[in-house]
Structure 1
Amino acid sequence: MQFDAMDRKILLELQQDAGRSLDEIARAVGSSKTPVWTRIRKLREAGVIGPQVVIADPEKLGFEACFFVLIRTSEHEADWQRRFLSALRDRPEVMEAHRLAGEIDYILKVRVKNARAYDVFYQALISEVKVHNVTALLSMEEIKNTTALPL
């Protein structure tokens, strides 16, 4: 799919607040409602726009601790990886999981209520799959958090 300046404007607006009315978005991008709706529909059909979700404030819901968990493993077999990925997908505390190049194999972003809740998560994870080394880093302050791509 080809993107033009209007598509980028629409995407920028949607990334800021997709809950606004179509009229508001059209006004913000300098267009009328029907062409904006048509472009949004085409962006959805092309898979550029995924599901719309609500971003909840974790601290207001009691999830005050954010840990970045660095995992090194000596296991690289397909069965281990399948079990490990399944364990991550089944844990609602895991907000993000990435496989890395370099000395660290995986990094997880884990949201929990406190350090005790992190330990419960950690104990459950290592009881499900064998890992070589785990380092947990507690985020002291979130400086920036965005889901918006730099269009």
Structure 2
Amino acid sequence: MSIALDPLDKKILTELQSDASQSLDEIAKKVGASKTPIWNRIRKMREAGLITKQTTLIDPEMLGLEACFFVLIRTSEHDENWQAKFLKTLLERPEVMEAHRLAGDIDYILKVRVTNAKAYDTFYQALISEVKIFNVTALLSMEEIKSTTMLPVD
């Protein structure tokens, strides 16, 4: 389900995605409106579920998480119990930044952040000890070319 947004809503969302720590005064000045209507629109977008949460982005390399692996998973298991166990395992692993169920030959793709290859192996060993997996392929990202949390609102 999508929500109808007017140009002012889109400007507000762009500003919030750019830096949600901005004050209402700063946002209002940048989008050309006063504080009260800005606050009311933000509140309505939260209530509608469009704005889900505010968070802080942290540089992973400054935390020593220098290795980013994309993990391709194929499974021969597709029943509800296996999926529930797999989901529980992924949710409990802080290394897993993203997880997607796919259409096609690969069943799942994970984005995993760890300190190095040895830490990835520790993650891998823990994963396969928890759930039965047919095939795992790990791809090391050599360079992050683009990474954004900003969605296009135009």
TM-score in same-fold range (> 0.5): yes
Q: 1:113 aligns with which of 112, 115, 125?
A: 115
The CA distance in 1 between the partners of 2:149 and 2:76, in whole Å, is: 33
Is there any run of 5+ residues in structure 2 with no aligned partner, and where? none
Paired position in structure 2 for 1:79 = 81
The percent identity for this pair of structures is: 72
Of residues 137, 141, 144, the one that matches 1:142 is 144
* Residue 48 of structure 2 corresponds to residue 46 of structure 1: yes
Give the deviation of 1:84 after TM superposition: 0.5
Q: How does 1:61-72 map to 2 (within 5 A)?
A: 61-72=63-74
Q: Deviations over 1:10-56 (max 9, x none)?
A: 00110000001110001110111111011001000100001100011
* Match of residue 4, structure 2, among 2, 5, 22: 2
Structure 1, gaps ≥5 residues long? none
How many residues align? The count is 151
1:37 pairs with 8, 29, 39, which one?
Answer: 39
Tell me, what secondary structure is at the counterpart of 1:59? helix
| Residue 114 of structure 1, CA deviation | 0.5
Q: Which residue of 2 aligns with 1:58?
A: 60
1:92 correspondence with 2:94? yes
Partners of 1:28 and 1:61 in 2: CA distance: 33
Question: Root-mean-square deviation (CA), in Å?
Answer: 0.6
Q: In structure 1, give the amino acid aligned to 2:104.
A: G
- For the residues of structure 2 that align with 1:106 and 1:70, how far apart are their CA atoms? 6
How big is each residue's C-alpha offset from its partner over 1:40-85, in whole Å with a ceiling of 9 and x where there is no partner?
A: 0100010000110001110011000000000000011111111011
Q: Deviations over 1:108-136 (max 9, x none)?
A: 00000110000000000000001000000
1:22 counterpart residue number: 24
Q: d(CA) in 1 for partners of 2:88 and 2:4?
A: 36
2-side partners of 1:80 and 1:135: how far apart? 19
The 3-state SS of whatever aligns with 1:60 is helix
